[in-house]
């Protein structure tokens, strides 16, 4: 409610700052840290902010740290008032910037505190003129406060933006530029163009396949990228390998041959010669290309979890298991077109989103879910278990690397779609925009976390090259619309017990194509989206995660209390697998400890393809309102040594999927949970699902399975549905309540 001239005055102040005249508008404190030693990263940007009061609901404290000079915090019309910012940890501040609206402070202090209780003055003003103030300061604290004691107008205190800058060891690192025409993707990326030797290309593909055939927990990572054109190739896709086209349309790259996943290495049952088991065909992907099959052949995609099939066009049939008696437990297809019939065979469950099934789908076991797809089978549950929803309520497709006709690389970011049916590219190029690769920092294995964070603070996006990235500090994403994209199942491991990735409560961040592996020191959380208590509305530009895989143990000792925590409202989860290892190295009930796979605190969060397995408490804990899950797959932990170790208070075991008692609205479609208590088959889990008994909470098409009758789930949901055990291994429920 300040005068209309405020906007003009603000623009004059900003112009003055740009011209170097800002010191004339404000007092300067002394002594100051040298300019060369004062960093350029705004530590207040998108940090949690609170205040003594607000003028109205449109002038909240977060508006003073959102990086938008057109939004502001304003207080009630009285003295004193304050704005407080949590910098996340002790910071040695050297500069604070204040951009006042016309309703500014005549008298105020800039203060720091370690505990938000005991405050120390860094700067005092008694006759401030407002405007844009750059205050050189010297002091250390976690909390920064602007404490106004006398207003300059009859209104309250009003700040467009607050900035905070800390002392560095000299200057921010000088990061190498990324050449968009000749980027250095490192040794684990093979780029193929139409001039490449067909023989040499096939030899390289064969060598990668031989190396990765059974390399389930090795450190090797590969990406094979095809520039637009036609190729003759047989891609035998194995562990930690991504094959992708570099066009803007899937048909820009055509493979005459195969892009296939075979079930031919893992023993099934007691027969050592039966290697048709696909249940461990994890961690690989095919994206953004078309495949023209040789006559009278099919494409095989016999996969388990974490094996996405995206933006693919298959000219022929697609079979999702070994074609005989092999087991399979997948899986994910999205934004694709399959010209022939898809035969699911023994696949226990599968998620198909926004895909054109030209010749339909054949097959079902326990939980086949189709969302926003065409050519699907009719809805039916169970036998066959086909959950079908005609549209996808809100989705953004995964960002992808591409190259234009001039040879410039970029990352294409698809636009948000609502009530979508079919592929994003059905009528031509996908709607969205491209970001030049020159705006990305290419993260290679061995890059320090400090360098990665410096790149982020300088406004760069991140492209992780294939490999294992060990980091000693959290990667902190604070800027809206930042893209973090991994190639070749790039793997991030926090080594010091911190989070691997923390995203501030900002608009439009995209995390895609990353495997985050817990380190040997327990991390409270591996990936966190938004700070605790996040409250901003992101409906117009949500955070989204795509093909994000989280792992605790298996590749070695690892511990993490929570694998993924979602605090930001409106987040889109577009294929996540959170896995506490049941096999491999460093596994055991007291070895690879992990309480929760996914914890959702934000409101209006939507999940497509939510896979969470083997955690020691709730695999999924949903605390936020208005959540929606389309396809959930779970295995409860195999390894509780006894019932006493698998108790939630007086309840036998922990539900796979828990909606908090405080939640009033929640809905889920196509949800399955399985037990296999091979360590102690007498272990019992009371319910696979627990939800509040409220009118706004609805669950559709649920399954509980005792795999081989090893272990017992007493009921599907809220003591309803009957036991899955040796006698009756599969239980279904169409609707709850």
From 541, 538, 514, 508, select the one nearest 527 (Cα to Cα).
514
The DSSP output letter for 270 is T
Task: Give the H/E segment covering residue 305.
Answer: none
Q: Find the radius of gyration of the CA atoms of the chain.
A: 27
Strand pairing report for 572-580 and 105-113 = unpaired
What is the C-alpha to C-alpha distance for residues 542 and 432, in angstroms, rounded to an integer?
15
Q: Cβ distance 64 to 49 under 8 Å?
A: yes
Q: Cβ distance 108 to 130 under 8 Å?
A: no
- List the end-to-end C-alpha distance of the chain, in Å, as a whole number: 49
Catalytic residue chosen out of the listed positions 101, 397, 635, 690: 635
**What is the edge-to-edge ordering of all strands in the sheet holding 432-436?**
400-403, 409-414, 432-436
Which residue is associated with the tokens 């169970």? 382
Task: Give the H/E segment covering residue 51.
Answer: strand 49-51
From 576, 574, 502, 509, select the one nearest 538 (Cα to Cα).
509
Question: How far, in Å, are 335, 354, 371, 399 from residue 314 at the CA level?
Answer: 12, 15, 19, 21
User: Catalytic annotation on 635?
Assistant: yes
From 393, 414, 420, select the one nearest 402 (Cα to Cα).
414
Q: How many CA atoms lie within 13 A of 419 on its CB side?
A: 0
What is the C-alpha to C-alpha distance for residues 199 and 6, in angstroms, rounded to an integer?
69
From 578, 533, 534, select the one nearest 560 (Cα to Cα).
578
Counting beta carbons within 10 angstroms of the beta carbon of residue 541, is it exposed (0 to 12), middle (13 to 18) or buried (19 or more)? middle
Contacts made by residues 483-486, CB under 8 angstroms, sequence distance 24+: 483/399, 483/411, 483/413, 483/435, 483/440, 483/509, 483/510, 483/512, 484/509, 484/510, 484/511, 484/512, 484/514, 485/399, 485/401, 485/411, 485/461, 485/510, 485/512, 485/513, 486/512, 486/513, 486/514, 486/515
Q: Cβ distance 506 to 480 under 8 Å?
A: yes
Counted residue by residue, the chain has a size of: 737
The residues near 709 (Cβ < 8 Å, ≥ 6 apart) are: 725, 726, 727, 729
Cis peptide before 601 (omega within 30 of 0): no
Which residue is associated with the tokens 């789930």? 713
Tell me which residues are annotated as active site.
Answer: 635
């Amino acid at each position: 409610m300040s005068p209309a001239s405020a906007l003009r005055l603000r623009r004059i102040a900003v112009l003055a700052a740009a011209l170097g005249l800002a010191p004339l508008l404000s007092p300067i404190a002394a002594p100051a840290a040298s300019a060369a030693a004062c960093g350029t990263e705004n530590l207040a940007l998108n940090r949690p902010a609170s205040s003594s009061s607000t003028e109205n609901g449109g002038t909240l404290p977060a508006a003073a740290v959102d990086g938008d000079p057109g939004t502001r915090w304003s207080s009630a019309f009285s003295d004193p008032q304050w704005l407080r910012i949590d910098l996340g940890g002790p910071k040695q501040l050297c500069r604070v910037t204040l951009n006042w609206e016309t309703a500014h402070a005549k008298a105020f202090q800039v203060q720091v505190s370690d505990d938000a209780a005991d405050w120390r003055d860094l700067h005092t003003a008694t006759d401030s003129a407002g405007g844009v103030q750059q205050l050189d300061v010297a002091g250390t604290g976690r909390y920064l406060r602007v404490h106004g004691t006398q207003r300059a107008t009859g209104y309250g205190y009003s700040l467009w933006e607050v900035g905070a800058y800390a002392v560095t060891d000299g200057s921010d690192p000088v990061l190498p530029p990324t050449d968009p025409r000749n980027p250095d993707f490192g040794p684990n990326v093979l780029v193929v163009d139409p001039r490449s030797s067909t023989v040499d290309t096939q030899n390289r593909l064969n060598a990668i396949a031989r190396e990765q055939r059974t390399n389930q927990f090795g450190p090797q990572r590969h990406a094979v990228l095809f520039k637009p054109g036609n190729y003759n190739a047989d891609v035998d896709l194995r562990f930690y390998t991504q094959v992708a086209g570099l066009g803007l349309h899937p048909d820009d790259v055509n493979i005459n041959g195969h892009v296939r996943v075979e079930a031919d290495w893992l023993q099934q049952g007691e027969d050592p010669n039966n290697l048709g088991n696909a249940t461990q065909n994890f961690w690989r992907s095919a994206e953004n290309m078309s495949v023209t099959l040789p006559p009278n052949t099919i494409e095989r995609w016999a996969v388990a979890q974490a094996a996405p099939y995206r933006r693919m066009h298959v000219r022929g049939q697609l079979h999702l298991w070994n074609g005989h008696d092999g087991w399979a437990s997948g899986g994910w297809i999205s934004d694709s077109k399959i010209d022939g019939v898809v035969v699911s065979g023994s696949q226990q469950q599968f998620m198909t989103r926004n895909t054109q099934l030209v010749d339909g789908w054949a097959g079902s076991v326990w939980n086949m879910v189709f969302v926003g797809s065409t050519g699907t089978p009719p809805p039916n549950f169970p036998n066959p278990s086909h959950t079908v929803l005609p549209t996808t309520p809100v989705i953004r497709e995964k960002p992808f690397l591409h190259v234009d006709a001039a040879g410039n690389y970029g990352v294409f970011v698809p636009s948000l779609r609502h009530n979508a049916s079919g592929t994003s590219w059905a009528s031509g190029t996908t709607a969205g925009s491209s970001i030049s690769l020159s705006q990305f920092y290419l993260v290679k294995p061995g890059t320090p976390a400090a360098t990665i964070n410096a790149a982020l603070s300088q406004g760069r996006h991140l492209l992780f090259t294939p490999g294992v990235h060990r980091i000693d500090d959290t990667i902190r994403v604070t800027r809206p619309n930042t893209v973090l994209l991994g190639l070749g199942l790039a793997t991030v491991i926090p080594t010091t017990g911190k989070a691997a990735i923390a995203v501030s409560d900002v608009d439009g961040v995209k995390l895609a194509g990353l495997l985050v592996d817990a380190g040997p020191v327990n991390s409270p959380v591996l990936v966190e989206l938004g700070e605790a208590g996040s409250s901003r509305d992101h409906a117009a530009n949500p955070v989204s995660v795509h093909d994000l895989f989280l792992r605790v143990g298996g590749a070695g000792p690892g511990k993490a209390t929570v694998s993924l925590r979602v605090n930001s409202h409106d987040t889109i989860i577009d294929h996540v697998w959170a896995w506490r290892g049941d096999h491999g190295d460093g596994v055991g009930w007291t070895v690879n400890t992990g309480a929760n796979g996914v914890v959702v605190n934000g409101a209006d969060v939507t999940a497509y393809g939510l896979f969470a397995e083997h955690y020691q408490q709730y695999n999924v804990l949903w605390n936020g309102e208005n959540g929606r899950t389309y396809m959930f797959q779970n295995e409860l932990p195999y390894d509780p040594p006894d019932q006493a170790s698998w108790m939630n208070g007086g309840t036998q075991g922990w539900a796979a999927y828990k909606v908090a008692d405080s939640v009033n609205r929640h809905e889920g479609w196509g949800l399955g949970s399985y037990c296999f208590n091979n360590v102690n088959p007498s272990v019992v889990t009371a319910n696979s699902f627990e939800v509040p008994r409220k009118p706004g909470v609805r669950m559709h098409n649920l399954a509980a399975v005792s795999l081989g009758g090893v272990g017992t789930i007493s009921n599907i949901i809220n003591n309803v549905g009957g036991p899955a055990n040796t006698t009756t291994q599969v239980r279904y429920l169409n609707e709850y309540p």
